[in-house]
A and B are shown apart, each in its own frame.
Chain A
Amino acid sequence: ETGVTQSPTHLIKTRGQQVTLRCSSQSGHNTVSWYQQALGQGPQFIFQYYREEENGRGNFPPRFSGLQFPNYSSELNVNALELDDSALYLCASSLLSGGTPSTQYFGPGTRLTVL
């Protein structure tokens, strides 16, 4: 059973550029959540995808968007990058079934630096 993987591990961009981060979910999972972890802070929920549809969103502007593919992998896209977007981006996968919360398994993250 493979865990959650993310690519790339590190990325450097300049203000105004666009970036795409990728996540492969754990085998058997149908849900992917994305979090932003700024330096010295706890992760903040960006959004979640369940069976290719957005299933909840945190307090992030529309320039943060995402996709989930039929194999349940996912992308996070950020347009018009700002300096404050510099952070560790974490992907977590889980198996959503019924009303009980499922354990979220986190990937190692992508460190994005915006200059």
Chain B
Amino acid sequence: AQSVTQLDSQVPVFEEAPVELRCNYSSSVSVYLFWYVQYPNQGLQLLLKYLSGSTLVESINGFEAEFNKSQTSFHLRKPSVHISDTAEYFCAVSPTGANNLFFGTGTRLTVIP
């Protein structure tokens, strides 16, 4: 069975400050890891994913996440946030060999001007 824990339900941060959104998972099998973002009244959009290879993955808008197998974590970071980053962020895992996603409960990031 798989489960995803996002410890912080809400994270307020000032504009241009760094941010880290935490994600831990548990699984009895190997998994792939994802971060999705949900803007108000919109569907989920893929932010970045880890399938294999380098444990540090980056998105086109400055976010990055590092897969840490020993700590079963996949924390999301950004060195300097913008107002437009205000959204709900979901961490998800997909068991290898499957094609469905198990999501955490989400972290609401609010960027304060």
Interface residues of A, Cβ cutoff 8 Å to B: 4, 31, 33, 35, 40-45, 48, 50, 55-56, 58, 90, 92, 94, 96, 99-109
Q: Interface residues of B toward A: which range?
A: 20 to 34
List which B17-71 residues lie within 8 A (CB) of chain A: 32, 36, 41-46, 49, 51
B105 / chain A contacts, CB cutoff of 8 Å = 40-42
User: Is B86 among interface residues, defined by CB-CB distance under 8 A?
Assistant: no
A-B contact pairs, 8 of them (CB 8 A): A31-B99, A35-B101, A43-B101, A43-B103, A55-B99, A56-B99, A99-B97, A104-B99
A102 / chain B contacts, CB cutoff of 8 Å = 99
Inter-chain CA distance A110–B20, complex, in Å, is 31
Are B44 and A43 in touch, CB under 8 angstroms? yes
Are B43 and A109 in touch, CB under 8 angstroms? yes
B96 / chain A contacts, CB cutoff of 8 Å = 99, 101
Inter-chain CA distance A101–B51, complex, in Å, is 8
Are B101 and A45 in touch, CB under 8 angstroms? yes
A8 CB to closest chain B CB, in angstroms? 15
Are B100 and A56 in touch, CB under 8 angstroms? yes
Are B90 and A43 in touch, CB under 8 angstroms? yes
A96 CB to closest chain B CB, in angstroms? 6
Q: A45-B101, A94-B99 are in contact. List 5 more A-B contacts (CB 8 A).
A: A41-B106, A56-B99, A58-B100, A90-B44, A99-B97
B13 CB to closest chain A CB, in angstroms? 21
Inter-chain CA distance A45–B98, complex, in Å, is 12
List which B84-113 residues lie within 8 A (CB) of chain A: 90, 92, 94, 96-106
A42 / chain B contacts, CB cutoff of 8 Å = 4, 6, 90, 92, 103-106
A106 CB to closest chain B CB, in angstroms? 4
Cβ 8 A contact of B101, one of A100, A104, A109: A104
